[in-house]
Amino acid sequence: MNAIFNRRSIRKYTKQVISEETIEKLLRAGMAAPSAANEQPWHFIVIKDKEILSAIPKFHPYAQMLREADCAIVVCGDLVLETNKNFWTQDCSAATENILIEATDLGLGSVWIGVHPDQDRVKPLHALLGLPQTVIPLCIISLGYPTEIKAPVDRFNPSRIHRDRW
């Protein structure tokens, strides 16, 4: 539970390189997520190329931290892989959260950068990465070893809990 409660959006990173072994652990965590009918409609694009990481903030206003990140993982949904239509966003969101929690557990800083459904973000990212038409980028996860430490925040809010009925 510590990784869940300690997970925070971290946007400042050191120059330390994330190992391939660590990246595989992150991807394994993502693929361990639940999905509707166990379809696993996801694909993951690991970006280490600094030119690509620097190109994304040119069209995505909230992706500036990618210029400092060691790498990023783009979580995509594949419409061909889903038979339960429109559940891919939930499935890929579960995979994203698993990656974020695993990143925290491994001592990495990370932040979820939303892409879908904003077409001003989806279309340029789609083109930049050469995605097939049936593959939709849900989000980008920026990753690096943190230079900033943020204290856990207790977001528990009893007013949002309803029992049996609203």
The architecture of the domain spanning 11-148 is 3-Layer(aba) Sandwich (3.40)
Q: pLDDT at position 152, please?
A: 92
pTM beyond 0.95: the answer is: yes
Nearest partner of 53 among 72, 38, 37, judged by Cα: 72
Do 68 and 106 contact (CB within 8 A), yes or no? Answer: no
| Secondary element (H or E) of residue 110 | strand 109-114
DSSP of 14-77, one letter per residue?
-SPPPPHHHHHHHHHHHHTS--GGG---EEEEEE--HHHHHHGGGT-TT-GGGGT-SEEEEEEE
Give me the pLDDT at residue 60, please: 98
| Predicted confidence pLDDT, tens digits, the chain (166 residues) | 899 999 999 999 999 999 999 999 999 999 999 999 999 999 999 999 999 999 999 999 999 999 999 999 999 999 999 988 999 999 999 999 999 999 999 999 999 999 999 999 999 999 999 999 999 999 999 999 999 889 999 999 999 999 999 9
